[in-house]
Chains A and B, each alone.
Chain A
């Protein structure tokens, strides 16, 4: 029993079309452009129609011969042979068309928006907040948070660069913009990645994992005490200087990583909106982009051990001297800030947890009461989340800061009060590039000596997206 070679070829082609079409469908999942998807679906429909026509044609040919196709048939007439060849040619063209469509679709899914030949990506964040009526807090209502752009030029060799430009509204409603990261790096080998410029200070996990991209962090905001300097944070999140990072594998699948930095220390100043409309933003840390104000360099770093791509355990430390200035640039006090601590990051199946701990031993250098010695404080947080079906992620977080108010470093900062905060939220990834976050938190805050403590609740909805 033989099968005519032309029919065998036809069946092979049909199979090839089916596989190509299936590949096309699978690749389609990566496309974001709905118009492109619709166009490809149209082509797929056309392919299916062609397939049906060819199937019908085969049935007609078999019926015309009046015998089962599996039985050896006499050589087809010249006319029939020509038709079959024509059909094969059409199938070949169709196959090419489907493959090209799939390839185009794949390329489209990986396409970048280019600015001067450099891919441009970023994040957008906005939302609604229901807040307590308190003169010291922002008002309830819709909020524009930030638009964060970043670019990573590809120099083609070991040289690399990263620029992150962030536009955001402060709690006072002032639009600010900043080059949050502006660094150039060189990879000597896996152990020596040297960076210079402005970078996010390597402490803990959160500060260097999520940067200003709200979308990639599970929750609406960072824990309060590690927020950025102009958003209530009490740590120097940014540093201008040099940093070295490295990593190497141990015990098969485990990994040890480290970061060490040296840079300008920060200072505390009464921040404003740049005197555009004279809004006082309160005393904040400032990262000294153009030289260290007191000549005392900051240094520190972290080291971590990654267990089997699941659990990271790390330690971190930092030291710098921070001066506080008044509006006339007069030094009010000076503190030698030192902290050390540890952190973890767990990512297993659908579970994710992150926690950090900071122990401060700050020493007053100068101030209204002179050298008041060493002050002990601490702060920490832990967050836990679980993702269902890659879409729904409920999460909880608890955070606490016990900050000595006789420590000039904390008492000089507007947000340097002790507090506890408990957060519960739900993240809904309704789109591959966007998520809605619903979050409720309760805060207990200790005010400066003599002032009553404060309790308040906040409910927020935030839309975060990436591009």
Chain B
């Protein structure tokens, strides 16, 4: 058991020493306010500022910092740096508002529930939000 513990501690040390981004590798659920009717095909367009409105409702994407890298990789197919740069240009060029960033599932879910046009992504959705697609 000592050996196992030491191995675990060494592994932890290695992980802590590594400064590369640690990606979440589980499922990512894209969620929206229950009243919003958007399809899975719209998700990438919404997160790249190409789709702004649905049914007269302004769409507001929310980033979840805990799983952002994984979401961008799986859904938007873009590196975080590129994503940040893209939004910087979108704001400057088109007067758009960049996605709000939250740090936990609970924060994202609370924001999604608060406004009809909000969409976000989490690791564990709650029943009171609509799951658009699991990635």
Contact = CB atoms under 8 A, between A and B. Distances in A.
A26 B81 contact: no
A18 B16 contact: yes
Residue from the set B58, B92, B97 with the largest chain A CB neighbour count within 10 Å: B92
A69 B2 contact: yes
B53 A188 contact: yes
B95 A51 contact: no
Contact of B65 (A106, A152, A247): A106
Contact of B103 (A107, A154, A183): A107
- Report whether over half of chain A's contact residues are helix, strand or loop; otherwise say mixed: mixed
Nearest to A153: B95
Interface in B98-113: 100-101, 103-104
Contacts of B52: 158, 187, 190, 193
Interface string B5-21: 10011001001101111
Given A150-B92, A216-B89, A21 B2 contact: no
B95 A68 contact: no
Contacts of B93: 208-209, 211
A22 B12 CA distance: 9
Contact of B96 (A62, A102, A160): A160
A434 B1 CA distance: 51
A390 B53 CA distance: 33
Interface string A28-53: 01100000000000001000100100
A11 interface: yes
A152 B1 contact: no
A466 B92 CA distance: 11
Interface string B42-84: 0001000011110010100000011001000000000011001
A89 B42 CA distance: 45
B22 interface: yes
B101 A152 contact: no
A192 to B, nearest CB: 9
A21 B16 contact: yes
Residue from the set A26, A71, A162, A247 with the largest chain B CB neighbour count within 10 Å: A26
A209 B22 contact: no
Contact of A216 (B53, B65, B69, B88): B88
A14 B95 contact: no
Tier of interface size on chain A = 35 or more
A396 interface: no
B40 interface: no
Contacts of A216: 88-89, 92
A69 B50 CA distance: 57
Contacts of B15: 18, 21-22
A58 B5 contact: yes
A158 B53 CA distance: 8
Contact of B12 (A23, A44, A51, A208): A51
B117 to A, nearest CB: 9
Nearest to A213: B92
B5 A48 contact: no
Given A69-B1, A107-B101, A160-B96, A249 B45 contact: yes
B16 A25 contact: yes
A152 to B, nearest CB: 5
A418 B52 CA distance: 43
A103 B103 contact: yes
Given A51-B12, A106-B65, A152 B95 contact: yes
B37 interface: no
A347 B91 CA distance: 19
Interface string A123-160: 00000000000000000000000000010101011101
A172 interface: no
B58 to A, nearest CB: 5
A189 B22 contact: no
B28 to A, nearest CB: 15
Interface in A46-102: 48, 51, 55, 58-59, 62, 68-71, 102
Contacts of A44: 16
Given A189-B56, A390-B81, 16 more contacts: A14-B9, A18-B12, A22-B18, A48-B16, A68-B1, A69-B1, A70-B1, A103-B104, A110-B100, A150-B92, A160-B97, A190-B50, A190-B53, A211-B92, A247-B50, A249-B45
13 contacts: A14-B9, A15-B12, A18-B15, A18-B16, A26-B22, A68-B2, A70-B4, A103-B65, A107-B101, A157-B58, A160-B95, A183-B95, A216-B88
**5 A-B pairs closest in CB distance:** A69-B1, A162-B95, A103-B103, A70-B1, A26-B21
Interface of A: 11, 14-15, 18-19, 21-23, 25-27, 29-30, 44, 48, 51, 55, 58-59, 62, 68-71, 102-103, 106-107, 109-110, 121, 150, 152, 154, 156-158, 160-162, 183, 185, 187-190, 193, 208-209, 211, 213, 216, 247, 249, 255, 390, 466
